Structure 1
Amino acid sequence: AEAGTVLPMLRTAEELRAEEHYREVLAEMPLVEITKIGDSEPEPLPSGGGNPLSGLRALGMGHVIAGAGVGRALALHGADVLNLWRPDELEHDVTYLSANVGVRSATVDPHRDGGRIGALLAGADVFFANRRPGYLARIGLSAEEAAAIRPGIVHATASLNGERGPWAGRVGFDQTAGSLVGMMHLEGGERGPALPPILVVNDYIVSWLLTAGIVAALIRRAERGGSYRVHVSLTRAALWILSLGVFDPGYAREIAGTGEPHAYLDPETFTADTPLGRYQGVTEQVLMSATPGRYPFALVPRGSCRPEWTVDPARTGRPGG
């Protein structure tokens, strides 16, 4: 842990509950944390756009799924989303192509182009990221620093174990959280710990929870003003998933795929022509009747956009124009 290596211990749920970090932090942590961190004037949500978030801007440093998926969710409902990548940053194609639908993508070096990032932040409504503990503070983008640059910002982050307590500095990702809370033991049973068939335990759920928190904070800003910090822990989200109930493994194996109520369903997909070629990806699998959402485009190559905001008439009179 001190070396910053991702190497979780495969715990059972009972073993986790015996840990100090669970007792002092996770047991009392809200599923979505929303904290007011500064004052600013109320900013009504833009009106007249085609989607609920039209006219809003979201600047991101999200990667893999839990962070980048926030950008996808915001873009679906109308926000102009610009995600920033470091020049030498690695991203697996399979996660980029899935989590960055509808998101513009630019390359910026935070150590050399901090002024550019600050200018982008000054024109944003939302900042989102899922980075190692302490990284945002090292480049001047902690929640408090962001609020000083842009009063009224909604600063949203995902972490492994939360932002305080004995495990706050530990790094990890989706399956790390599943390992800590006992999911792998439950999946494998007597055979020993095993990954679930879907592999990804909670990454997309975390991105949707974080997006819900962002929307709630934007509503608070519209009504009362203020800058807000929004946070979701992967481990806390995994605990919440387990709280919803667990099927007996024998029953699940026996009933899965038998008859229409338990049939395996292929995901709903869409296709689009993109600069990367013909693309087929999954939809959100849920259709909202009043606000179904639509993406401004499907995909762009990673880092291919200019690091600047688009001109939007709906932003007249708002910070950053």
Structure 2
Amino acid sequence: MPTYVLEPNTPAKLEANRPLRFQVHAGALTGEVLFAATDVTGAPLGRTVTRRGTLVIPKLADYTSVTVSRLSGGVFPANTVLDLTIAYEGALHADAVTLVAKIEVSGIPSRQLAALRVADGVVSVVYEDESNGERPPLTGLALLAQLATREILGVSAVDPTAAINMAVVIDGSASMLAPTNDGGVGALVEVLAGLSSVVAPNRTVRAALVGNAVEWIISDSRATLAADVRRAQISATLSTGFRSADPGLIGHRPDENTVTWVLTDGLPSDLPELRLADGIEGEARHLVLFADVQAVRLQGEAGIPTTLVQPVGSEEGIAGRLEYDPANLRRTIKSLLAGCFVPGTPYAKRVAE
């Protein structure tokens, strides 16, 4: 029996008017996979047969969507990959085609396995690649942030119409030595790298070290972004100032929405200019302040979305607090997502929940 790999976003052809079997294997989670088959209106197909890890559809609608969710509710755990097989039910002859694919579902509650369209006696089978698989893959805090962001937004990646471009700006002045040396800056860059795989899929995250001038940091992937930022910090000369609203940070993608996270230890002296940059069409700014809450209150209101990262007295540091306290990581990511989506849209509503 010929077996073909079902490539993402590429239709594969099968004969119509034959029962199809969908089978998934996910190790110990196989019994946790719940199938659903619906037509173009979202109504369930009749006469489907389900058993452990298997769905059989005797007759397809003109359009059929096959999805999976977790039987016990909630999201699939980290590193969950479904081995999918699509074949004719009861097919024994040698020329019966089998389609196979590996589909990642980590950190999301449900996933479409395939969309099937019937026309002229042929079934067109397509699955969309929503995994945003990273090469090299995300690990550590970046992976945890990716999974938490997926859980918050309910998707493995936002729709292309809602995707953003991302920039991470790090204050390169001497006042940032403490949050840099205690790992706080690196931890937040890791979190933003994981977050970016969901809200900025298939896009490069730009990073810059900014003092009296802008120094763009070369990074090949999200997985190495934090390490690349740290190398740039080590080799850079500490500046005496920080221009958070440097003109060099504006307008790199004028035709698309860009959110820039500004990592610093207090309200910038050029805050009025930063607010103006936040008001430019297609541009948004988000302050990430490494500071005590009382100190920030004394400085006044930022006037733009702000995430406060307070110092940690224990040896685990900010990275440990985020890594070992899922509730804290979730709160931090929801704060970091503020301003990423148009108010009132489904993604914005999920962030606000």
TM above 0.5, one fold?
Answer: no
Q: Larger RCO: Structure 1 or Structure 2 (Cα < 8 Å, ≥ 6 residues apart)?
A: 1
Q: TM-score range by the shorter chain?
A: 0.3 to 0.5
Q: Which has the higher strand share?
A: 2
Q: Which structure's CA Rg is the greater one?
A: 2
Q: Which has the higher helix share?
A: 1
- Normalization by structure 1: what TM-score? 0.34
- Normalization by structure 2: what TM-score? 0.31
